[in-house]
Amino acid sequence: MNYSVTQFRKDYPDDDVCLDSIFQSRYGDLDTCPHCGVIGVTFYRVKGRKCYACGECGYQLHPLAETIFHKSHIPLTSWFYVMYLYSVSKNGVSAKEVQRHLGVTYKTAWRMCKQIRVAMRQGGMKLSGVVEADETYLGARNKKTPILGALSSKRARAVVTDTASAARTKSFIPSTVQIGTTLHTDESPIYHWTKADYYHKTVHHSIGEYVRDGVHTNTIEGFWGQLKRSIDGTYHHVSRKYLQSYLDEFVFRYSYRDVAAYPVLLERASKRVLR
């Protein structure tokens, strides 16, 4: 679903509208003051401050507290715009690009990008339906980092790991994929154990077999390809320390590719950051 920049600018023209949006996302269903206990209370915006007060007792709620926007001096309109770029950019958004767009320092731009990826963290329901699982490697030839991944037609998961082994897949797949799901992999022995809990089907890449009776891992291999091209072309290099957050970014974008991803990202960004 397309969410155009024209619509974005119409929806979020200034910081006041942005703050109201965060407040509604975080506290919109709050009908009782947590301090005085009055039911059906109205919270009003405190003039000159980024907070709202109870109409009965004056108790204040700070919608930016403990979110990715906490203690930031950057205007909310700038935050919202960078989040919009992240939601629509197929290949990611570099801190250098954010620096050029906003006219901020590279350090500020990098921090904003890092915080937005926090809002893109993976989670939610386990994958079901037909799921493809595969492993890949990123980095220099002598310092390659293994990654395990799984995806369905609707969602994806990916995790940085120390080794792409059967022991590691025995923790990754059950935590990611519903038991009893149809699972497509290649012939790698690290997935052989899944036959006990999953309807496991394989293709044999080693003999040039890539599709057999509808069984393939082409979708997840395409996901890996997009990830690698984007890291090479947009980010150029990602250290192992931060690689998981970049995986979160690309998993988020894949998982919400058929809907307007921006409202989802904004809702996540409006919640407390789980450290």
pLDDT values of the chain reduced to their tens digit, one per residue, 275 residues: 678 999 999 999 999 999 999 999 999 889 899 999 999 999 999 999 999 999 999 999 999 999 999 999 999 999 999 999 999 999 999 999 999 999 999 999 999 999 999 999 998 899 999 999 999 999 877 789 999 999 999 999 999 999 999 999 999 999 999 999 999 999 999 999 999 999 999 999 988 888 999 999 999 999 999 999 999 999 988 999 999 999 999 999 999 998 889 999 999 999 998 65
Distances (CA, A) of 222 to 188, 219, 225: 18, 5, 5
- 89/271 Cα distance (integer angstroms): 23
Q: What angle do CA 116, 122, 124 make, to 5 degrees?
A: 125
Say if residues 218 and 61 touch (Cβ distance below 8 Å): no
Which numeric CATH code is attached to 130-256?
A: 3.30.420.10
Among residues 79, 91, 53, 106, which one has the least CA distance to residue 269? 79
- 35/56 Cα distance (integer angstroms): 10
**Domain limits, the chain:** 5-121, 130-256
- pTM value is 0.92
Number of Cβ within a 10 Å radius of residue 145: 17
Helix (H, G, I), strand (E, B) or coil at 177: strand
- pLDDT digit string, tens, across residues 96-127: 999 999 999 999 999 999 999 999 999 889 99
Antiparallel, parallel or unpaired: β 130-138 and 182-186:
parallel
H helices of the chain, in order, are: 5-11, 15-27, 76-88, 95-102, 106-118, 166-176, 218-230, 240-255, 261-269
Among residues 65, 117, 126, which one has the least CA distance to residue 270? 65
